[in-house]
């Protein structure tokens, strides 16, 4: 056997697919839900994307990958509107919670204002910066 360092997209996709298959074998059938990518964008009058949000659904949870608002339209409510759209999808798809991460120079206060709670933090990632992990519970899970 040989172990080599290389980045090939097909290899990454294969590893991801294999891990997802393994994970799916470990989860009871009633907890499974299809993996689904979700995104919304806001476009200006010229059709240029000025804000957007991406995420994915699996196992009745949503992960928000990216929320970006161009500096020319910040503080105009687009971030809140995009986040609300994602949250509605999560509710419609019976997700129990949404989780995400953000950096101290990005928007932890924005997410907290929208009901997200910090459940983890990495200090000095990079030096002088904190990475926050937040979640928002949508419905109570049965125990």
Choose among 38, 64, 66: nearest CA to 116.
Answer: 64
Taking residues 115-129, report their average pLDDT: 97
Q: Is 59 helix (H, G, I), strand (E, B) or coil?
A: coil
Task: Give the per-residue pLDDT at 111.
Answer: 98
Two tokens at 141? 């899970």
The domain limits of the chain are 33-137
Local structure of 44: helix, strand or coil: coil
| pLDDT given at position 29 | 86
Q: What is the tens place of the pLDDT at every residue in 44-53? A: 999 999 999 9
Question: To the nearest whole percent, how much of the chain has pLDDT over 90?
Answer: 84
**Contact indicator for 129, 101 with CB cutoff of 8 Å:** no
**Quick one: DSSP state of residue 12?**
H
Going by CATH, does the domain composed of 33-137 fall within 3.40.50.720? no
pLDDT digits (tens, 9 = 90+) for 11-41: 999 998 999 889 889 988 888 888 899 999 9
């Amino acid at each position: 056997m040989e172990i080599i360092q290389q980045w090939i997209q097909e290899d990454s996709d294969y590893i991801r697919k294999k891990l997802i298959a393994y994970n799916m074998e470990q989860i009871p059938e009633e907890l499974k839900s299809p993996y689904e990518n979700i995104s919304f964008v806001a476009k200006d009058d010229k059709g240029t994307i000025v804000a957007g949000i991406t995420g994915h659904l699996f196992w009745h949870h949503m992960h928000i990958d990216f929320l970006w608002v161009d500096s020319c339209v910040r503080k105009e409510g687009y971030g809140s509107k995009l986040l609300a759209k994602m949250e509605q999808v999560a509710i419609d798809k019976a997700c129990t919670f949404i989780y995400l991460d953000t950096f101290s120079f990005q928007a932890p206060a924005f997410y907290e204002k929208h009901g997200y709670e910090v459940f983890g933090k990495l200090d000095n990632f990079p030096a002088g910066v904190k990475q926050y992990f937040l979640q928002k519970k949508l419905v109570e899970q049965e125990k």
